[in-house]
Each structure stands twice: as C-alpha cells, then as structure tokens.
C-alpha cells in the first residue's frame, strides 16, 4: 500500500471541498482530494442536483403541445447528460492540472485522526494529513414503508434524471421542495403526477396566501395533491405499482409507473469510519461541528450537507470561506455571521423567499407592514407580460417602525435572481422606501419593487 503525506486532505469533491482544495493548492499547499466516484467530480450540484434538475426545468418549459412527450423528454435527458459530462470533465481537469493537488478516486475510510485509506481500483493508498476536510454531501432517504425499498418502480431523484423513459404516471411521496420541483418538471413534460403528503398542509411554513398561489400554479399544470396521506404499503403488479395510503381513516391507493421517494436527504457518513478519527456525529449521522465548522477533532472540518446544515450549494461554498479564513485568515469568520439567506423553489415561475414571513415577523414582536401585488397587476413589470408569464405574486414584510425589510416571498419570473437583491438590501439595512425609489433597468423584473413597495396594505401590532 502506497502512502502520501499531505498538508491537507479533502474527502469529497463537492462545492466546498473543491474550493478549499483549489485555494490551498494555489498557495503551494500539498493537497490530496479523494472522491469515491468518477461520476461525481464537482459534487452533487453539477452531476445529479442543481444543474441537471434546473436544466430539466428549462427543457420542460420549451415543449410545445404538438411535441411527443416521450421523445422530447428523451432528447432533453441526452442533452442534459452532455452538459453534466462537460461540467464533470472541467472539474476533473481543474484538479489534475494543478501541480500541488493529487486527485484520488476511491472510497475513503479513516484509520486514525490524521490517517485515511483510499480504496482505489489500482490499489489502496494511505493518506496522512495535518488538516482534513470532509465534504461527502448527502443522499436520498427512502422511508421504511413495506414494499417500497423492494419495488422495481421505486426511483430516487438521481434515478429519474438519468432515465430517458418518461413515466406516464409518477407518484411522489413527500411535498418538500424536491418533491414539488419534480412534480412541476414532470407535469410539464407530460406525466400524470400525484403528490402524497402526510402533513395537513403543503408549504405550511409559508404564509397561506403565498402557499395557495404556489399550489394554484402547480394544480394549473395538472399536478394532483393528496394531503394527510400516510403511505402504508407499496405493491408491485405486472403493469403498475399501487401506492397504498390512509387518509381520514380510509384506505386508498394510486397506481404508478414510477414512485419517487422525496422525503429528504441524509448526510453521507456511513463507511467513513469516523469513530477511528474521534469525530462525533449526531442522531441523523451528520458530523457535529462548531460555528467555525471544526469537528470534535480541531484539525478536521466538515463542509456542506454532511454537517447537517442547510442543504444548498451556496452554503457549502460559504462553508469553504469559513474554513479558509480559519486556516489562512483572521479566524473570525463563522457560520453565525450569516443573515438573510435566500431560498428558491424552482417551479415555473420560481418561488424565492428570504427572511421572515408575515406570521413569523409578528411572532418575533415586530409591528408589521405588508406590501403585496399579483404579478399580473404590477404595472411597472412589463417583462412578465413580454415573456408571457404573469402568474404569481410578490410580497414584502416590512418593519413598521424602521421601514426595514423583514422578509419577502417572490413567486414570479426571475424570482431566483431578484431575491438576491432583496437579501442584499436586508443585510445592509436598506429601507423599503429606498428599494422602492431606486432606479432599475427597463424592462426588468427588479423594477417591480417600484410598484409593489408603494402598496402598503396594513400595519399590525406585535403578537402578544
């Protein structure tokens, strides 16, 4: 078994890990980057996450009524695979062309606090390092429902985006963001989509008006929702799979050609043998870290989904900044510095949110002003009419005393972009009036602020 001595070992080729590897490599550090699969160079996002799924959103929008759903979908999957292959190759080349970085492809396993064995096809390699960064990401959770895990029609999100076969009937278990995105995508491609959700409400963390507007969009595209549906059994038949659920004391079922388990993702820590390194995990298997992403071993860091934080690529990137600041900077940067972190549900049109919703703002003790308009009624937003996408609404929650923005929900064309402007305004305490009176290009989506923020609906006293 060969041995490599490195300054830094990065386990996992995700966004945060590759950023740390590249930055430290450029500074002359000897870096080893270990990734278990040659199909995952670059991590989840460019291979099985953000890039292919958002590309599917784009392709699904382009399908015309006269286009064969199956042919259009198969062509879309081929083109997306070409795209992800380019991203994967680019990530590999960036590491292989760096003189101070060694890329190993194989499963990593800790044998001590500073030692990791990497099982490569050409032979195992032992890596010792002063600093170790774990960035192994997360994987889909398949719930323990009788018959589900053994079903030949069970698919994960990764399975779906790799198959050229469009399911005629897709049943999605779970109405979280992943489930809703796939419901929108496959509904637009032409599948008959049914979403089963155990909770009484879908998007229950949003204000009721925003959640209902979002569901109206999805229902308008043919997606069927069944709430309070507790899936109890999955039965394979010759021509279909029956997903059995209980609702209001009744036993019902729905037939499917594919069953997507969209019930969350779990940190990938199994097989890492973290016990040998003295690294603690929590009950979900996530690596326990402090605000500077240090594990129970101060020379070992955990970035991205594996540390149990928000499962977003941009959080993994910011994690890398925290670690790099600790290793090479002032050491003051921490995850607790983050504020106004936006989120986007990539349906059509997208739903982007940041900060408090109306209910949360009141509960936090704020006197609240609300500004809200339907996209179709925003005179200063002709872009929505130009691109023929006038569905949705824009809503701001504002502090009545300071005029600062407490939160926003944007269900509109370009919401995934304009929410970043709102988040920046919140971080720098830009008032609603300043955002309302700013000069924006025309026609653009940001100029909706000129109209929406001029419509203050009401002021409320704080809750309690």
Q: Which fold has domain 343-460?
A: Enolase-like; domain 1 (3.30.390)
Q: What is the pTM of this model?
A: 0.93
Q: Which CATH superfamily is domain 2-138+266-337 in?
A: FAD/NAD(P)-binding domain (3.50.50.60)
Residue numbering of the annotated binding site for FAD: 54, 136-138
pLDDT tens track, the chain, 464 positions: 699 999 999 999 999 999 999 999 999 999 999 999 999 999 988 888 889 999 999 999 898 889 999 999 999 999 999 999 999 999 999 999 999 999 999 999 999 999 999 999 989 999 999 999 999 999 999 999 999 999 999 999 999 999 999 999 999 999 999 999 999 999 999 999 999 999 999 999 999 999 999 999 999 999 999 999 999 999 999 999 999 999 999 999 999 999 999 999 999 999 999 999 999 999 999 999 999 999 999 999 999 999 999 999 999 999 999 999 999 989 999 999 999 999 999 999 999 999 999 999 999 999 999 999 999 999 999 999 999 999 999 999 999 999 999 999 999 999 999 999 999 999 999 999 999 999 999 999 999 999 999 998 655 655 44
DSSP string, 136-190: --EEE-----TTTTT-TTEE-HHHHHH--PPPSEEEEE--SHHHHHHHHHHHHHT
State the sign of the Cα–Cα–Cα–Cα dihedral 302, 46, 352, 220: negative
Task: Give ranges for CATH 3.30.390.30 in the chain.
Answer: 343-460
Q: Which segments are annotated as binding site for NAD(+)?
A: 174-181, 197, 264, 305
Beta pairing, strands 230-236 & 241-247: antiparallel
Of 367, 287, 286, 290, the C-alpha closest to 336 is 290
> Which residue is associated with the tokens 């990497």?
118
Per annotation, catalytic residue among 5, 58, 429, 442: 442
Residues in binding site = 54, 136-138, 174-181, 197, 264, 305
458 is catalytic: no
Question: What CATH code would you report for 154-263?
Answer: 3.50.50.60
Residues of the chain with CATH 3.50.50.60: 2-138+266-337, 154-263
């Amino acid at each position: 078994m060969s041995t490599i001595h490195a300054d830094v070992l990065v386990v996992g080729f995700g966004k945060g890990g590759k950023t740390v590897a590249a930055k430290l490599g450029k500074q002359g550090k000897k870096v080893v980057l270990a990734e278990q699969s040659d199909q995952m160079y670059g991590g989840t996002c460019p291979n099985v996450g953000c890039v292919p799924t958002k590309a599917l959103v784009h392709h699904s929008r382009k399908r015309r009524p006269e286009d064969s759903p199956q042919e259009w979908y198969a062509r879309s999957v081929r083109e997306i695979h070409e795209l992800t292959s380019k991203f994967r190759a680019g990530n590999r080349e960036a590491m292989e062309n760096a003189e101070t970085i060694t890329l190993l492809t194989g499963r990593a396993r800790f044998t001590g606090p500073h030692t990791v064995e990497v099982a490569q096809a050409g032979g195992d390699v032992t890596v010792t390092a002063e600093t170790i960064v774990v960035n192994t990401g997360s994987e889909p959770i398949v719930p323990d429902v009788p018959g589900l895990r053994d079903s030949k029609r069970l698919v994960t999100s990764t399975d779906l985006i790799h198959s050229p076969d469009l399911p005629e009937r897709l049943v999605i278990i779970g109405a979280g963001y992943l489930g809703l995105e796939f419901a929108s995508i496959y509904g637009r491609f032409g599948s008959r989509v049914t979403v089963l959700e155990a909770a009484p409400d879908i998007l229950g963390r949003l204000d009721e008006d925003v959640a209902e507007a979002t569901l109206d969009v999805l229902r308008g595209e043919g997606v069927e929702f069944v709430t309070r549906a507790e899936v109890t059994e999955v039965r394979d038949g010759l021509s279909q799979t029956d997903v059995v659920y209980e609702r209001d004391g009744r036993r019902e079922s729905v037939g499917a050609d594919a069953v997507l388990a969209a019930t969350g993702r779990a940190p990938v820590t199994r097989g890492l043998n973290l016990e040998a390194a003295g690294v603690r995990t929590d009950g979900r298997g996530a690596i326990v870290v402090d605000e500077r992403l240090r594990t129970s071993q101060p020379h070992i860091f955990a970035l991205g989904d594996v540390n149990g934080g928000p499962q977003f690529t941009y959080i993994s990137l910011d994690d890398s900044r925290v670690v790099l600041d600790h290793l090479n900077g002032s050491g003051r940067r921490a995850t607790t510095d983050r504020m106004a972190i936006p989120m986007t549900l990539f349906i059509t049109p997208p739903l982007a949110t940041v900060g408090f919703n109306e209910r949360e703002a009141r509960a936090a003790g704020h006197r609240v002003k609300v500004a809200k308009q339907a996209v179709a009624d925003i005179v200063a937003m002709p872009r929505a009419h130009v691109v023929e996408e006038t569905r949705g609404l824009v809503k701001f929650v504002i502090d009545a005393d300071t005029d600062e923005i407490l939160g926003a929900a944007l269900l509109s064309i370009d919401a995934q972009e304009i929410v970043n402007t709102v988040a920046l305004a919140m971080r720098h305490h830009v008032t609603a009036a300043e955002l309302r009176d700013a000069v924006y290009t025309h026609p653009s989506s940001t100029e909706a602020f000129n109209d929406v923020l001029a419509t203050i609906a009401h002021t409320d006293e704080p809750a309690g």
